Structure 1
Amino acid sequence: MEIASKPHSADEAPPAQPFCFLALPYELRIRVYEHVLVFPRTVDLDPANTRTLVHRLCLFLVSHAVHTEASRIFYSRNTFRIFPIHGRFFHTKRPLLARLPPTYRAHLTKLELRLGPGWTKPPKGWVADSRLGLEDAPKVHLLKVFVECDPASSDVFDGFRHGEGEEFYTTFCVGLLSGLFAGLPALSRVQFDAYPSVSKTSPLLKRLVDEARANQKIVLWGPERGWDKIAEVDLAQRAAEDGIGIFVREH
């Protein structure tokens, strides 16, 4: 015996029909993925991910097709921190990159190296070796280096420095950067930025910039201190002094 469905009244809206997301043009699907999965902050191992990140990554579970498209956007458009700085994960032997499957590392394009935390005794896991799986990240073209402090730049750090001397942390950081250069052959640009206590002429930042230039990397400056704007002015001034005209074609 069939039960007749109750007819809808004129004022009652018809039941909502499921929307076929994959029927959208690919360009529109990309815009949706970018809105949901691209973040202004660097992605890192952090307990806050359970409330800010994990629920969005559930998008990966919708279907194989959605997973393929969404994971490519998430891993290629965001910046990922190489070594964690949150206290809960600071001394982990498995940084974020080491925890990612090779298929995800293959999509990475931007990484960040945060320097300063643990300057008296860097964690043993802060080593640019095979555990990071850098060989699986051939598309990484930009490395952001953020310097929180420079122990060699001020007497304030006297009495707290590593037993090997004030040059210890500078040497450690330069070696770390050199190791990343060796493991990321496609890396072409390095963006430097720092907290206000660190100047462009501080020993640590100067050595890092010199190392980048010695490895034929394009040196960029980050937005934290407005150095990126200063760099643009310097470039225009240098061009003017060299007699090089800067032309803009009108369309």
Structure 2
Amino acid sequence: MEYLREYRDRPFFLGCGFVKPHSPPCAPERFLNLYDSAKIQLPPDFAPWPTVPAGFPSAAIRKRNADLFIGRGASESEAREVIRAYIASISWADWNVGRVLAEVDRLGLRQNTIVVFVCDHGYQLGEKGKWSKAGSLFEMGTRVPLLIDAPNARGNGRACMRTVQSLDLYSTLVELCGVPLPPGNEGRSLVPLLHNPRAAWKHPAYSVWSEDGRSLHGVAVRNERWRYAEFGPEGQNGAMLFDCHTDPQELHNLADDPRHAKVCAQLSPLVRKYAANLGKTQV
């Protein structure tokens, strides 16, 4: 708040990070009291330990949790309490975001301030026995919320179903601020989508899982319909395909289903090309 008041008459960039939700799961009591653990529904694929479901490659799930329930299983009652605390943490963060935006409005800055809300990763809350942000390429661990409010953007307040990446934020902010884009940038500006959330957009999103000193474990590609992942060099350790429209919880791996061989054939080259180019990425 003090930063906003100090820089209100000058160009500024404010990166406002909120620690929660993060492990350990906890929140002020007034936010915990918003939720009843008895009413928390566990995911349909809940398991006490990290578990590879039938029909999934064994490489799909790290065999240990890194954040919660390390070295032991989670009971259903414990799981509900953790999920309750996680949801309460989200409400706490939401309240804090509201405080910041209220100050932006109070200072009369909304008309010339770009507001972006984004997270650095997702989180698995017992799905397939996972209690961590890493160690898989599933939707729950890799998808993040993204909200952008830009002055004069015609799409403000509308939802956009296009598949984009966090990598695209830099290019977007540079264009919105009228700053020259430096060479070597790999993201794409989202400005066209800010004006028309239904504009054509054929760019997928990629996720990477590295292990053991940054060695590549798996790569996934996500478009508006499908999530496809391969593990090991050229998929030697298995693959996954999910229909995000009919199976948003990723319960059914379709990679070995002959009816979806064409989809796999379309997405596999994208994953392998991306994996091959990882060593060429500019940092």
TM-score, reference length from structure 1:
0.30
Query: Which structure has more helix as a fraction of its residues?
Result: 1
Flag the structure with more relative contact order, 1 or 2, with Cα contacts below 8 A and sequence separation at least 6: 2
* Superposition TM-score, scaled by structure 2 size: 0.27
